[in-house]
Structure 1
Amino acid sequence: MNITRNNVDTLNAVVTVEMSKADYQPEVDKVLSNYRKSANVPGFRKGQVPMSLIQKQYGKAVLLEEVNKLLQEKLNQYLQDEKLEILGNPLPKVNEDFNLDNEDFKFEFELGLAPTFDVDLASVKNLTQYKIVADDKLLDDQVLRIRKQYGKMIQAEKVEEGSDITGTFINEEKGINSPATFSTDVFKNKKEAAKFNGKKVGDVVTLSTKGLFDDDHKLMDYLKVGHDEVHGLDINVDFKIEEITTTEPAELNEELFKKLFGEGDVADLAALKNKIKEDAEKQFAVQADQKFLNDVTESLLTSTKFDLPAEFLKKWIQQTGENPLSAEQAEEEYNKSENGLRYQLIEGKIITSNGLQITFDDLKDYTNGLIRKQMAQFGQMNPTDADVDGIVMRVLSNQEEVKRLSEQVMSEKMLNLFKEKVKAKTKEVSYEEFVKASYGE
């Protein structure tokens, strides 16, 4: 067998595999011999069927299967031996002259080669790494939310200041049917908020969405509409009132603190605010890290230049899906996936260049931390090491979970690398300021 490669250019190549009868015939003979031993043919005892009959009945099918198996094995081995970094999979070139009656065969495969490039983390500039702080307004709001959550709920006949209103936002044209509960102080537009004054269960209030909230993104939460629709959304929505309640806030006393945090951890308002601040800022740090990771990713996509074997990849997309695509559909799919492919290559280069690896100990430690956090959420604050280790090993026995957790661990390693090597200014902001910065406002 002879395998050769012709580099069309730096991103495309054609591999030719030439196969002679001596390469495949021994396996073909072996398979046919096994068929003969087990074949049941009327008029012949088992194992005594003439080989000529076996050859006539099964010969071409076995030949095709064994040639294909040998071809795939040798091609894959060649790609490994040559250390070729390819994109997609080899695409066989159509050979109109192929004939199974020939003894020698020639196969050609198109390859899309991965580009050669370097990633310079120093090229990432003008980025901000946010530190989100829980400001006094957020802390006061959270304290009030806790007091109302554990307070006494009272049914009310009509809407008054401070009432909680439950119902459904409706706009048939936009397909909006979104249950919600709120108090009218959530609205920026006080004229619209005043429409609820004195209303009763069963009443319908029509609101204009334009300027309804201090941030249009809140429409995503209340109306369940997409991000691209909320900016400047100017429609009317009906809100049908289904329940009106008022809440007598719970007192900030030992009973409430014990219910929230257990014995002795929090004893007064100052300690409660410190606890809220600590927990909130841990959650905010995760969001800030994700934004920084996303921002570095976008910057690297812009600053790291290289070509791709685009025509090959479009052809590969067109031919290898579950259903064949037209050239136009393949081009559309390529355009959708191009940035994802580019970042996969960039990420792979970063991982290789910086020696980032995931060990089994990394996975165990990461999973251990996740399990302990989850158990704490259900009140198990001090589980034994043996209990946690048992859960960890069960989780890591699932290959899908290992894959998912490995991606998270590598993402964490990438984030730490970016924090170390990417120059970015640090900016302290409130959560509201961070949300606006995240959406480019």
Structure 2
Amino acid sequence: MNISKEQIDDLNAVVKVEITKADYEDKVNDILKNYRKQANIPGFRKGQVPMGLIKKQYGKAVLVDEVNKLLQDNLNKYLTEEKLDVLGNPLPKQQDNFDWDSDTLDFEFELGLAPDFDVKLKTKKAITQYKIVADKKMVDEQVERIQKQYGKIISKDTVEKNSEVTGTFTYSEKEITKTTTVEVDKLKSKKAKDALVGKKVGDTVTLNTKGLFAEDYMLASATGLSNDEVKDLKINLEFTIEEINEREPAELNQELFDKLFGKDNVTSEKEMKDKIKEDSEKQFEQQADQKLLNDVTEKLIDETTFELPAGFLKKWIQFSGEKELTEAEAEEEYEKSEKGLRYQLIEGKIIKDNDLQVQFDELKEFAKGFIKTQMAQYGQLDPKEEELEGIAARVLGNQDEVKRLSEQLMSQKLLDLYKEKANLKAKEVSYENFVKEVYG
């Protein structure tokens, strides 16, 4: 067997494979001999079928199968040994009137090669690195929510400004029949508040959906409609009152602190607020980090320019799937996937240039940290090391989980690298302002 490469240009090459009878003949003959032993053909005793008949019936199929195996094994070996960084997979060139009976079989494969390029982490324009802080207003609102959540529910006869009213929204034309609870003081519409105050159980009031709640998702939840359905919705809902309650806020005392944070971990209102601020900002850090990762990714794609073997990739997309695509469909698929492919190449280059690796020991520690976080959500704040080791071992025994956690850990390594070397400008914002700036 002889394999050679013809370089077309920097991004395209053709690999030529020459296979002779000596490469496959012995293997084909051994397979046909086994076929002969097992063949059950009318008119012949088992194992006594003439070899000529076996070759006539099975020879070509066995030959094609063995040659294809040789091609696959040796082509992959060649690409590895030559350290060719290919995109997609080698595409066999169409050969009309191919003669499988020839003493020498010649095959050609088109290759799309990865481009050679450099990545500059110091982008031309600085990228904003947000630090989201929990301001006093947010902390105070969280304390108020906690006091309400853990407070005492007191039944009332009449709706007041601070009442929680449970009732059913109905609107026959859209088949709305949804029981929900609304906090009167949280309604946006003053007209709706005025309509509810003073009403009793069994009363029905008409509430217009326009401006009823501060956010569309709240109206969607209250009516059972989708977010798209409630956007710009302006209808009169009937709301029949079924229950009226008032929440007496829980006292900020040691019993509440222990219930929220564990025995004696927090001993004063100030410590409670400090803890809420700390926990909130840890959660915000994850959002800020994801925003930074997304922004660096976009900037690197914009500023790292290189050519791709577009013609080859479109052809590969066209012919490599389960169903052959038209040229137009392949072009469309390429346009959709080009940006993602560019970042895969950029990310791979960054990982290689900075020798970023995921070692098993650090993957295990990463998995244990992930497990601890999940256990904490269910109140297990201090799990034993042996318990974590056991759960981590089971998790890492699942290849899908290993892949997922490895990708997460590599993302964290990339994020740490960007924080160290990218062109960043720090900006401290409240969560409210972060949402406005990022999501509009």
SS at 1:263's partner residue?
Answer: coil
Residue of structure 2 equivalent to 1:352? 352
SS at 2:9's partner residue?
Answer: coil
Q: Supply the distance in 1 between the matched residues of 2:377 and 2:38 (Cα, whole angstroms).
A: 63
Q: Displacement of 1:433 after TM fit? A: 1.0
Q: 1:235 aligns with which of 233, 254, 264?
A: 233
SS at 1:8's partner residue?
Answer: strand
Would you say 1:208 and 2:210 are equivalent positions? yes
Residue of structure 2 equivalent to 1:50? 50
Asked if the contact 1:36–1:51 (Cα under 8 Å) also holds between the matched residues in 2, the reply is yes
Q: Displacement of 1:342 after TM fit? A: 0.8
TM-aligned CA distance change 1:83 to 1:60, over 3 Å: same
Any stretches of 5+ residues in structure 2 without a counterpart? none
Where does 1:170-189 land on structure 2 (aligned, <5 Å)? 182-186=182-186
Residue of structure 2 equivalent to 1:16? 16
Amino acid of the residue matched to residue 417 of structure 2?
L
SS at 1:236's partner residue?
Answer: coil
Q: Supply the distance in 2 between the matched residues of 1:399 and 1:18 (Cα, whole angstroms).
A: 38
Residue of structure 1 equivalent to 2:412? 412
Residue of structure 2 equivalent to 1:392? 392
Residue of structure 2 equivalent to 1:294? 294
TM-aligned CA distance change 1:167 to 1:75, over 3 Å: farther
Q: Supply the distance in 1 between the matched residues of 2:339 and 2:316 (Cα, whole angstroms).
A: 17
- With 108-117 and 199-208 compared, the bigger mean Cα shift is at 199-208
Q: Displacement of 1:175 after TM fit? A: 11
TM-aligned CA distance change 1:375 to 1:219, over 3 Å: same
TM-aligned CA distance change 1:241 to 1:324, over 3 Å: farther
Where does 1:266-285 land on structure 2 (aligned, <5 Å)? 266-285=266-285
- With 371-380 and 25-34 compared, the bigger mean Cα shift is at 371-380
- With 316-325 and 85-94 compared, the bigger mean Cα shift is at 316-325
* Sequence identity (%): 57
- With 99-108 and 363-372 compared, the bigger mean Cα shift is at 99-108
Amino acid of the residue matched to residue 392 of structure 2?
V
Q: Supply the distance in 2 between the matched residues of 1:165 and 1:220 (Cα, whole angstroms).
A: 17
Residue of structure 1 equivalent to 2:137? 137
Moved over 6 A (4+): 167-180, 215-223
Would you say 1:5 and 2:5 are equivalent positions? yes
Q: Displacement of 1:8 after TM fit? A: 2.4
Would you say 1:303 and 2:303 are equivalent positions? yes
SS at 2:380's partner residue?
Answer: coil
Q: Displacement of 1:381 after TM fit? A: 2.2
Residue of structure 2 equivalent to 1:263? 263
Amino acid of the residue matched to residue 428 of structure 1?
E
Asked if the contact 2:11–2:114 (Cα under 8 Å) also holds between the matched residues in 1, the reply is yes
Amino acid of the residue matched to residue 208 of structure 1?
K
TM-aligned CA distance change 1:241 to 1:268, over 3 Å: farther
TM-aligned CA distance change 1:433 to 1:3, over 3 Å: same
Q: Supply the distance in 2 between the matched residues of 1:168 and 1:85 (Cα, whole angstroms).
A: 63
Asked if the contact 1:39–1:49 (Cα under 8 Å) also holds between the matched residues in 2, the reply is yes
1:143-189 deviation line (CA, Å, top 9, x unaligned): 11111111223455665322335678899999999986553544556
Q: Supply the distance in 1 between the matched residues of 2:171 and 2:284 (Cα, whole angstroms).
A: 34
SS at 1:341's partner residue?
Answer: helix
Residue of structure 1 equivalent to 2:422? 422
Any stretches of 5+ residues in structure 1 without a counterpart? none
Asked if the contact 1:317–1:333 (Cα under 8 Å) also holds between the matched residues in 2, the reply is yes
Asked if the contact 1:166–1:241 (Cα under 8 Å) also holds between the matched residues in 2, the reply is no
Q: Supply the distance in 2 between the matched residues of 1:162 and 1:322 (Cα, whole angstroms).
A: 62
Residue of structure 2 equivalent to 1:438? 438
Q: Supply the distance in 2 between the matched residues of 1:325 and 1:195 (Cα, whole angstroms).
A: 61
Asked if the contact 1:91–1:109 (Cα under 8 Å) also holds between the matched residues in 2, the reply is yes
Q: Displacement of 1:225 after TM fit? A: 2.9
Q: Displacement of 1:99 after TM fit? A: 2.8
CA RMSD of superposed structures (Å): 3.0
Residue of structure 2 equivalent to 1:102? 102
Q: Supply the distance in 1 between the matched residues of 2:45 and 2:76 (Cα, whole angstroms).
A: 42
- TM-score where L is the length of structure 1: 0.88
1:21-64 deviation line (CA, Å, top 9, x unaligned): 22221211121122223323344444333211211221111011
SS at 1:208's partner residue?
Answer: coil
Residue of structure 1 equivalent to 2:369? 369
- With 8-17 and 197-206 compared, the bigger mean Cα shift is at 197-206
1:223-278 deviation line (CA, Å, top 9, x unaligned): 7537xx99xx5332665647654322222222222222222112221121111111
Q: Supply the distance in 2 between the matched residues of 1:336 and 1:94 (Cα, whole angstroms).
A: 27
TM-aligned CA distance change 1:123 to 1:216, over 3 Å: farther
- With 177-186 and 20-29 compared, the bigger mean Cα shift is at 177-186
SS at 1:101's partner residue?
Answer: coil
Q: Displacement of 1:219 after TM fit? A: 7.7
- With 326-335 and 239-248 compared, the bigger mean Cα shift is at 239-248
Q: Supply the distance in 2 between the matched residues of 1:86 and 1:169 (Cα, whole angstroms).
A: 60
Q: Supply the distance in 1 between the matched residues of 2:247 and 2:86 (Cα, whole angstroms).
A: 64
TM-aligned CA distance change 1:315 to 1:142, over 3 Å: same
TM-aligned CA distance change 1:421 to 1:237, over 3 Å: farther
Q: Displacement of 1:71 after TM fit? A: 1.0
Asked if the contact 1:114–1:308 (Cα under 8 Å) also holds between the matched residues in 2, the reply is yes
Q: Supply the distance in 1 between the matched residues of 2:4 and 2:157 (Cα, whole angstroms).
A: 85
Q: Supply the distance in 1 between the matched residues of 2:415 and 2:195 (Cα, whole angstroms).
A: 48
Would you say 1:87 and 2:66 are equivalent positions? no
TM-aligned CA distance change 1:353 to 1:203, over 3 Å: same
- With 108-117 and 314-323 compared, the bigger mean Cα shift is at 314-323
SS at 1:425's partner residue?
Answer: strand
Amino acid of the residue matched to residue 324 of structure 1?
E
- With 134-143 and 150-159 compared, the bigger mean Cα shift is at 150-159
Amino acid of the residue matched to residue 94 of structure 2?
V
Where does 1:298-337 land on structure 2 (aligned, <5 Å)? 298-337=298-337
Residue of structure 2 equivalent to 1:73? 73
SS at 2:117's partner residue?
Answer: coil
- TM-score where L is the length of structure 2: 0.88
Amino acid of the residue matched to residue 373 of structure 1?
T
